[in-house]
Structure formats: structure tokens, C-alpha cells
Structure 1
Amino acid sequence: MLKEMLNKLTDALAKSETSTIGKIFIVFNQQYEDIKGTLKTMEEWIDVDKAQGKELDEIGADINQRRGLANDEVYRMMIRSKRARASSDGTYNAIIDTMAKTLNCKPTELSFKSVIENGGDEPLALVVENIPIKVISDAQLTPSQLVQLIEQVAPGDVRVASANFTGTFRFSKVYDTPEYGEYGFDKGTLSLVLIPAQDTVLPI
């Protein structure tokens, strides 16, 4: 921008940054770049995935989603969830799509069934067959908070009867022969999540 301004001067004036008018242009250019940077940040913070702090609160307020004690990362997820719930029709596919948008993961990573399909006799209950631990870890949620979200997305009084959070760790296929590779003690994750003694209830 500075060089462009200097080049637009008439040939009768010195087109150098060290000239008097050049020094004035340097001050103007710095202010211009600062304003441009601020406007760019404001434009980016319209996006829920980039907004922070009070700007994120404003986005949540637009859809009447309270923050509670949630940090920015969890609050973004709550906002995405409420937006997605507004268009959900309550079918399994809709629940999976909504949760995938909420957790920022692929729908193929999630799997749900009704308790009846799973051999039980409770009509208004879901079984979460598979959710990778990494997904809820990245979302900074506890399992019970995730269950809260799923029950909000599900129609009516449907509850989550059980949830299976899967890791990548697996034992050797052969009883007395160790296997090494992509999965194992050094890189794999167990199918286990620690739940804090005082779990935060999300304002959903």
C-alpha cells in the first residue's frame, strides 16, 4: 500500500520513504493496516469456529444459547448443536448428522440404535453403539455432557440408555504372540474416559 501511494505522486515530488511526504505516508499506511487488520478480525469472528470471548457470547445470544461455565471450545459446540437441532426431524440419520456437526466429526464415526433393536424392551431409549473417545476429547466434553446433547437432539422423551466410547487400542489376535504396529501401548487409546467427580451440566 505504501509503495502504491508513493508511486501515485507526481514526478515533481520525491517518491522516497525518507522524504517528508514519504514519512507522512508511512504513518498513514500503518494506521490503514491496523484498521484493515481489525476489520478482517471482525469479519472472521462472525464465524462461530473463529469467534472468541464476548464476540462468541453475541453469536450465542442471537440463538438464545447461554454459555454457563463452558469455555470457548465447548460453547462453540453448544452453538453448533442448537443450530443443528433446529433443523433436525428426530430420525436416526438426523440425530447422527446433528451430532456430527456438533462434534465437528464425520457421520460415519457415530452409530446409534434403539434399545429394542439391540434386544431390549424399552421403546423410548437409544444405545450409542460407537463414538470415538478422540471425538469427545477434542470437543472437551465428558461422556455425561455428550449424553445430554444427544438427548436434546432426540425426539420427545427419548433417553440414552448406554453409550460405548471406543478407543484405538487392541490386543494381539494371537493369544501368546505380541503384535506391534499402528495400534498398541505406545500409540493406541483405551476405551475408557475418566469422568470428573463434579461434572458440569451444560445449559442446554
Structure 2
Amino acid sequence: MDILKEFISRMPGSVDAIYNPNINKLVTFFAKYLSNIQGLFKQIEYYRNIDNASGNLLDKIGEKVGEVRGKADDKFYRVMIKSKIASRKGDVTVNGILTIIKNSLGVDVRNIKVLPLENEPQAIIIKDIPLEFANDPWEQQYLLKRIESTAAAGIRVQEIRFIDNSSGEVKIVAGTQSSIIITEEDKNG
């Protein structure tokens, strides 16, 4: 009971809980219940963390930030919530896009490249996002739309290239305003 020791240490010198048995009983009584309350608050804090929440609690966190689950499982729904929170910061620079990817996927962004399209300076290509976070085409489309919505006004995300580090395969998710095109190619090709 760390609370008991802290409680006793905060008692004024005129009231000595160590030598007075009645005060000691009272302090022990309060410390026990404060310890229970502290444990309950730690448990609530643990489950309110996006990484630890699941099911209905994760849905409630998603509602709070304005993100609807759709057909996402808990793992990808965490990515959706984190990307929504990160996109609210409003940084629309290349570093801002990389920060959103880093915060939502929890990946190292040093290998991810954001490049301008050669023939069109108002379009960008994002390369080498790890594929393990978006295996399903719906998840890839979601990430494309999230990144498109965070790019600066007038800047179009031409395509996102996911890379499967386990097989060396590159999957290109090309985005336009009206459709999503998914193709696969060999990393070496």
C-alpha cells in the first residue's frame, strides 16, 4: 500500500498516525479505499487507450472522434481512429503526411517516399508503405482516401505503393477522384 505510506507522510506533525492507534486505523481505512479507487482509475485508463480497447469500447472511442467502424476489425479500426486523430492536426506538408502515416500505422517512415509526379507537379506518389497494415482492398482504399483528404488543397494523390516486405512484392493502389485501381508487380521489375 503505497498510498498508506504517502498518506502518513502527508499528515501534519501534530497528528502522528504512527504512534496514535486510532488515527492509524483511520488512515489505514482511508488508504485501503483510496488504493481501490486508484486501481479502478488505472484500469479505466488502460482500457480507454486505443491500443488496449476492443469491441464496444473501441466503437465508443471511434464515435467520440467521429470515425465509423464499417467492416473493419479491431486491429484496422485502431488504425482508422489513429489516422483520424492524426489528420485533425491539419499539417498538409510532406512531413505532415508522413506524420499521419507514422501515427496511424506505427511504422518507421524513413523508408516511405512522397514524390511529385513527373508530368504533373500538383500530384504526388507515396511509395513503400508496409502492406501488413492494409491487406484487404477495402483497407487500402481507406488509407488512400485518408491520405488524399489530408493532402493540401489542390494536391492530388496519384497512387500509393504498398510493399510486402515478406515477399518483396509491390502493390500499387492508384487513386483518382472516381475510382481505385489495384495492381501488383514484382519489386525487382
What is the TM-score when the length of structure 2 is the normalising length? 0.62
Q: Which residue of 1 aligns with 2:29?
A: none
Q: Secondary structure at the match of 1:148?
A: helix
Measured after TM superposition, the shift of residue 101 of structure 1 is: 0.6
Q: Which residue of 2 aligns with 1:156?
A: 153
Measured after TM superposition, the shift of residue 39 of structure 1 is: 5.8
Q: Which amino acid aligns with 1:131?
A: I
Distance 1:65 1:143 in 2: 16
Measured after TM superposition, the shift of residue 192 of structure 1 is: 4.0
Measured after TM superposition, the shift of residue 46 of structure 1 is: 1.1
Q: 2:105 aligns with which of 94, 103, 106?
A: 103
Larger relative contact order (Cα-Cα within 8 Å, sequence gap ≥ 6) = 1
On the 8 A contact 1:73/1:140 being kept in 2, the answer is: no
Q: Which residue of 1 aligns with 2:122?
A: 124
More strand by share: 2
Structure 2 residues without counterparts, runs of 5 or longer:
2-35, 174-179, 181-189
**Which structure is larger by alpha-carbon Rg, 1 or 2?**
1
Q: 1:136 aligns with which of 123, 134, 137?
A: 134
On the 8 A contact 2:134/2:140 being kept in 1, the answer is: yes
Percent of aligned pairs with the same amino acid: 28
Q: Which residue of 2 aligns with 1:42?
A: 44
Q: Secondary structure at the match of 1:49?
A: coil
On the 8 A contact 2:67/2:81 being kept in 1, the answer is: yes
Distance 1:76 1:161 in 2: 26
On the 8 A contact 1:105/1:135 being kept in 2, the answer is: no
Q: Which residue of 1 aligns with 2:114?
A: 112
Q: Which residue of 2 aligns with 1:59?
A: 61
Q: Secondary structure at the match of 1:88?
A: coil
Distance 1:157 1:66 in 2: 27
Structure 1 residues without counterparts, runs of 5 or longer:
2-33, 169-187, 200-204
